[in-house]
Amino acid sequence: MSDETPDREADKALAGEYALGLLPPDEAAAFEARLATDPVLRAVYADWAEDLARLTDRIEPVAPPPRVFGQIEARLFGKGRSTGRTWLSWIMGAMAAAVVVVAVGFGTGVLDRGPTPPGSPAYVAEIAAEDRSLVVAAAYDAGQGRLFIDRQRGAPREGRALELWLIAGEDAPVSLGVLPAEAQADLTVPTALRPRLDGAVLAISDEPPGGSPTGTATGDILAVGEITNL
C-alpha cells in the first residue's frame, strides 16, 4: 500500500502533466500558484523534471546519409553555392533531442516570460547550432496557427538578423519571418503553410536587417531542427 495520501497521488500525476506541458493554461497557472506555497509539491515536480531531463542521456546522435547535406544546402542556396560551413555533423543531433528538450523547457517554467507558450502544442522543435551557441525552442498552436518561439541562447551578430525557414519535403524553403529582438515571440504561420509543418525542418540563417532580399537564404545556416509531434 502506498504511504502517499490520495491527494498526493493526484498531485504526482498533475506534476507530471505540468512537466510535460500538457495542462491547459488556466490549470497550469493554478499549479504554478500552488508551487509557490507548497514545498512538497515542488519536490514532486522537481523529481519529474529530473527524470525527464535524464531521458536525453540515452539519445545517441545519428549521422544522416551524405546526400542530405548537399540536398538541403542546394535547396537553400541554389546549386554550386557553398556556405563555407559544415553542419552535417550536428543536424541530426539537434533533431534527436527535440521532443524531450522542448517538453522539459516548456514544462519547467523556463519559457513562462513574455508570450504564453501553447499548453498542448501540436508540434515542437529545437533549432540548435552544433556548439549550441544558438538554441531556439519552438511550439506550434494548431488552433491559432501560431508558432511560439523562445531564443534560449545566442543572438544575431551586430548589424545582422536571424531568419527562420520552413523546409517541407521536396518543396523550396519558405521564410517564416525574421526573428524579433525579443527572446520570446509569436509568429503567425500562413494558412497555406500549416499543413506542411508535419515532419518538416526549421532552419535559421544569418541575414541582413529585414531578412533575405532574394527570398532564399543568403547567409550562413546557423541552426537546424526537425518539427516533431509532441
Q: Which three cell numbers stand for residue 16?
A: 507530471
Residue 1, in any domain of the structure? no
- Residue 196: pLDDT over 60: yes
Burial of residue 132, with CB atoms counted within 10 A of its CB: 0-12 exposed, 13-18 middle, 19 or more buried: middle
Average pLDDT over residues 94-108: 48
- Rounded CA separation 104/151 (Å): 15
190 pLDDT more than 50: yes
Expressed as residue numbers, the domain containing 46 is: 6-55
Tell me, yes or no, whether 198 and 176 share the same domain.
Answer: yes
- Which parts of 78-148 fold into alpha helices (H)? 88-96, 98-107
Q: In 134-206, which ranges are continuous DSSP H helix?
A: none
Work out the pLDDT band at 18, boundaries 50, 70, 90. Answer: confident
CATH code for the domain in which residue 211 is found: 2.60.40
More confident residue, 129 or 55: 129
User: Which whole number is the average pLDDT over 84-93?
Assistant: 43
Whether pTM > 0.75 for this model: the answer is no
Q: Give the count of beta carbons closer than 10 Å to the beta carbon of residue 34.
A: 14
